[in-house]
Amino acid sequence: MLTGEAKHWWRGTSQMLIDRGVVVDWVCFKRVFLEKYFPESVRHAREAEFMRLQQGEMSVTE
């Protein structure tokens, strides 16, 4: 369940989507939520950061 600013954002966003005739289901929610709070540029940066992690001499991929 969303709270605070996220809850306020979702109420407005979901109403806007419904007004446009968009079916608001889980797939729709996930897409707009990730766009708002975890944009693709951040996801790519985190993925690259994760792949560079090392423990001792070993990388994550090893």
Collapsing DSSP states into helix, strand and coil, what is residue 55?
A: strand
Convert the pLDDT of each residue in 7-51 to its tens digit.
999 999 999 999 999 999 999 999 999 999 999 999 899 988 888
* For residue 55, pLDDT beyond 80: no
Convert the pLDDT of each residue in 15-25 to its tens digit.
999 999 999 99
What are the domain boundaries of the chain?
A: 25-62
In terms of pTM, does the model score above 0.95? no
Percentages (nearest 5) of helix, strand, coil residues in the chain: 65, 5, 25
Q: How high is the pLDDT of residue 60?
A: 66
Q: Which residues on adjacent β-strands are paired with residue 49?
A: none
